[in-house]
Amino acid sequence: MDILYSISDIKLISLCTVITDLWQVHSEVLSWRPSLSPTGLFQFHNPQMTIVVSSWRKGTVTTSMQVWGVPEANRKYILAQGPLDHTVDHFWQMVWEQKSKAIIMLTNLIERGTIKCSSYYPREDEEDHVLLSDDPFLKVTCLSVQRHSYYRVNTFELEEVSSGKKREVLHFHYASWSDFSVPQSPEAFLKFLHQVRLSGSLDSTVGPPVIHCSAGIGRSGTFCLVDSSLVLIKKRGGPNGLQLQQLLLEMRKCRMGLIQTPEQLRFSYIAVLEGANTILERGSLGDILIENNEPEEAPPLPPRVKRPNSSTESTPTEETKPLVEDEAGETKNSEQELRKRKRDEKKEELAKKVSDMKKKMKTSESWNET
């Protein structure tokens, strides 16, 4: 079977990147490079992959994200980097415009003392549970949170303030998968994938899900490769003819560097084999059994990180020096102080945003009357 034979080529495949010199030059265009996150990670600058186009900023490339699809599997995904402080508004704009039903977050805000992603969403433990986007005017409200042993499901209400239109967006957060590593087990990952599928967030009848980790290539690529492979296996009635190597290379034509390490690719193969066995023998991923599924404490809420003024020099990278020590006691105290300070700052920020928003809308109305 091709799927088994290809395991011996894992290291070679993981190092292979489909790229041309011309596209790499385009990826360095200064007009949109400040929105990229990790230094040294270039993405294709192809107009067909530019998905953020709005009535506010026609044709603007605002952040590193590509849409990729598997026609035979009837799947489409939006792969994105973790939002930066100055791209949070763009991120929510994309979710609204693309009518995405879900955001799949495969990173924590801080890992090993290093910022991996901006704090871009409201949380239930905050008094107002609300986040406001300045441009466009979008309001994100946390409605509920479901906590599981290694992941959470948040339900957000996304509202376009100018029109009053509202939409619910699910937020699946896999909280126990650190950068450059793999999940605790294929079974645990497949259970998570099953829950995402059950919600209908991956269906072709809704907008493509937004999938992100830190850089938007390692963990995000693993998720997409496993999901699309299992769809094809079920559709074909077996894994015969499925070439994960070729499927990955096709993915990398849209977003280079997907699946960053040999371990991530090896995990993808194992997860596909495990998932295929479960689907073909039992009919559903929901019937999979998690080995050594001992009770776990729910992962702690990630600390809120202050959003400074927009600055292209504040871009986090994989080499960013730790902001806090990894000592348990110091980290816990730092997180508590950070969250308390953030709540106070957020109240002031929210009041200012509401005031500014009203002024802008009033100015717009006055202009229309003239």
Q: Is 103 helix (H, G, I), strand (E, B) or coil?
A: strand
The DSSP code for 100 is B
CA distance 38 to 313: 12
CB 105 within 8 A of CB 212: yes
CB 135 within 8 A of CB 161: no
Is 249 exposed, middle or buried, given 0-12, 13-18 or 19+ CB atoms closer than 10 A? middle
CA distance 233 to 143: 36
Task: Choose among 189, 172, 199: nearest CA to 229.
Answer: 189
How many residues does this entry show for the chain?
A: 370
- Answer yes or no: 213 catalytic: yes
Q: Is 272 helix (H, G, I), strand (E, B) or coil?
A: helix
The label of the residue with tokens 């986090």 reads 316
Q: Which residues of 11-49 are buried (b: 16+ CB within 10 A; e: fewer)?
A: eebbeeebeeeebeeebeeeebbebbbbeebbbbbeeeb
Of 117, 142, 213, 224, the catalytic one is 213
Q: For residue 283, count other CB atoms closer than 10 A to its CB.
A: 10
- Residues designated catalytic: 213
